[in-house]
A = this chain, B = another copy of it.
Amino acid sequence: MTYCVGMVLDKGLVLMSDTRTNSGVDNISTFRKLSHWSVPGERIIAVMTAGNLATTQAVISQLEERTKAPGERDNTLLKGATMFQVATEIGRLLRATIENVQRANGEGGKGRFTATMIVAGQIRGMQPRLFMIYPEGNFIEASHDTPFFQIGETKYGRPILLRGYDRDMSFEDAVKLTMVSFDSTLKANLSVGLPLDLLVIAKDAFAPTHAHRVSAGDAYFEAISRGWGNALRSAFHSLPAYRFSDDA
């Protein structure tokens, strides 16, 4: 499984992904699921992936390949006029990749090759945008009503995001919130694991503002994990006590 969160803030974009991949619980590996490309001063595009690893790697490799010889081929990633065009092209690639492997595998083939992606970025002259791309290639965009997307193992870490997210929060608070959400998920589900990749993209920076890999033993993540357990217990004790006498 996987857990990725992407959020839009007034100040820009915050993305975090885990790196665990597994084919059964006895076959666990670490793969990067957060990639980004930028044209300094002009655009930055980041992609996070969840789902079949061969599928997501094929899509990311194709995106990467195109940036290597940009003159020779259509490169929507680095040249698309809008984030909408970029999301459309990545969606098309994702769908085609899934269809290819399913076709090769035949009607009777086993296995699920689907994948889901979060695409985030900004192109000069436009706002930062955040999309969630489905295996079918279509996508939805984050809005004021739904300002963050999760993919993969989304449920454990969702309540704290719903409670804690604020559009005008600082990057530091957003990173802290995201780490709490990941900590809740890691505590509950073995299929999501360290290290975590973090990418912060300030509005109008057109370059990574901050990138960090949270590995096992990361002092800040450990402080959050330990502190959150204690803080939750305090929060819990601060709530009014239930009284049996209230009712029958």
Contact = CB atoms under 8 A, between A and B. Distances in A.
Interface of A: 155-160, 162-164, 171-173, 175-177, 179-180, 184-185, 187-188, 200, 209-212, 220, 223-224, 227-229, 231-236, 238-244, 246-248
B242 A235 contact: no
Contacts of A180: 236, 239
Instruction: Identify whether the interface residues of A are mostly helix, strand, loop, or mixed.
Output: helix
B232 A227 contact: no
B155 A210 contact: no
Given A159-B184, A172-B241, A164 B223 contact: no
A188 B171 contact: no
A212 B163 contact: no
A243 B170 CA distance: 11
A228 B239 contact: yes
A10 to B, nearest CB: 17
B244 A235 contact: no
Nearest to A214: B247
Contacts of A211: 248
Contact of A224 (B157, B223, B239): B239
Nearest to A154: B155
A248 B210 CA distance: 7
B239 A235 contact: no
A159 B184 CA distance: 6
A73 to B, nearest CB: 32
Contact of A235 (B157, B209, B235, B247): B235
Given A224-B239, A231-B236, 10 more contacts: A156-B156, A159-B184, A159-B185, A173-B241, A176-B239, A200-B244, A223-B240, A224-B240, A228-B235, A234-B235
